[in-house]
């Protein structure tokens, strides 16, 4: 399996912080020059999904205490300590300036590698199911 990094995060957070605090802050995704063309019309979206690599996460526990002291399995949590250390967060896209995306709502540290970006599409990504 080959996963390419397409860019990185610029954030005020250099170390782990409360995710709720991090999500209130603005940050920037800087896309590598060779992938800039892939941003064409991304600004048509109000929200995007950012897939990133927890590059400073080490090891994992399949079951452990999570935020608030609750014991859960790793797949029932948003812990960065995972067998495959990938994070996914829906963020507000504030603006685009060339290959820089100004966003709000990301819970990733400064210089975190970005693996992928996808538009958030409500009718596909919402957890609200329509009954027939």
Who contacts 70 (Cβ-Cβ below 8 Å, separation ≥6)? none
From the number of C-beta atoms within 10 Å of its C-beta (0-12, 13-18, 19+), residue 27 rates as buried
Ordered structural domains, the chain, with CATH = 7-122 (2.40.30.70)
Q: What is the pLDDT of residue 129?
A: 62
Under 8 Å between Cβ of 42 and 93: yes
What count of Cα atoms within 13 Å lies in the side-chain half-sphere of residue 70? 9
Place of tokens 């507000």: 92
pTM confidence score: 0.88
pLDDT, tens digit only, all 132 positions of the chain: 889 999 999 999 998 888 888 889 999 999 999 999 999 999 999 999 999 999 998 898 899 887 778 899 998 888 888 888 999 999 999 999 999 999 999 999 999 999 999 999 988 888 766 555
């Amino acid at each position: 399996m080959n996963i390419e990094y397409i860019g990185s995060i610029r954030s005020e957070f250099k170390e782990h912080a409360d995710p709720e605090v991090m999500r209130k802050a603005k940050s920037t995704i800087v896309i590598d020059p060779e992938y800039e063309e892939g941003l064409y019309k991304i600004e048509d979206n109000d929200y995007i999904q950012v897939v990133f690599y927890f590059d400073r996460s080490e090891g994992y526990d399949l079951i452990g205490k999570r935020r608030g002291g609750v014991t859960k399995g790793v797949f029932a949590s948003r812990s960065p300590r995972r067998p495959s250390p990938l994070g996914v967060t829906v963020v507000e896209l504030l603006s685009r300036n060339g290959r820089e995306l100004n966003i709000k709502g990301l819970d990733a540290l400064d210089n975190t590698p970005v693996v992928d970006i996808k538009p958030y599409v409500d009718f596909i990504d919402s957890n609200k199911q329509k009954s027939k």
